[in-house]
């Protein structure tokens, strides 16, 4: 998989998660989960794009670590 494909897949992931979050019930716990899911899932493509323009290998690795953390949080 190349950079362009992964950018597309992370964007589709965020879109799917936002759709899921929008379907949650409008109750206190649903609203809390909805907000958290939207924040972390939309962070995945944003941070991946930032990693792609990193100025150094170390910066790329650090930014990719954030992508992994946010994807893991979205999964949880």
Mind listing the pLDDT tens digit for each residue in 12-49? 999 999 999 999 999 999 899 999 999 999 999 999 99
Q: Do the Cβ atoms of 38 and 19 come closer than 8 Å?
A: no
Residue among 19, 21, 63 at smallest CA distance from 45: 63
Under the banding of pLDDT at 50, 70 and 90, the label for residue 76 is confident
- The pLDDT score that the predictor gives to residue 59 is 95
What is the rounded average pLDDT for all residues in the chain? 94
- The pLDDT score that the predictor gives to residue 7 is 95
Residues 6 or more apart from 63 whose CB is under 8 A from it?
Answer: 47, 48, 50, 51, 54
pTM for this predicted structure:
0.85
- Taken in order of first residue, the domains within the chain and their CATH numbers are 3-75 (1.20.1440.60)
| 36-71 burial: b if 16+ Cβ within 10 Å, else e | ebbebbbbbbebbbbbeeeeeeeeeeebbebbeebb
């Amino acid at each position: 998989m190349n950079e362009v494909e992964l950018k597309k897949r992370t964007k589709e992931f965020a879109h799917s998660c936002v759709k899921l979050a929008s379907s949650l019930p409008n109750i206190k716990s649903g609203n809390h989960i909805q907000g958290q899911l939207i924040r972390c899932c939309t962070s995945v493509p944003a941070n991946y794009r930032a990693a792609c323009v990193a100025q150094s290998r170390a910066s790329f690795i650090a930014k990719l670590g954030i992508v992994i953390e946010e994807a893991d949080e979205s999964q949880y």
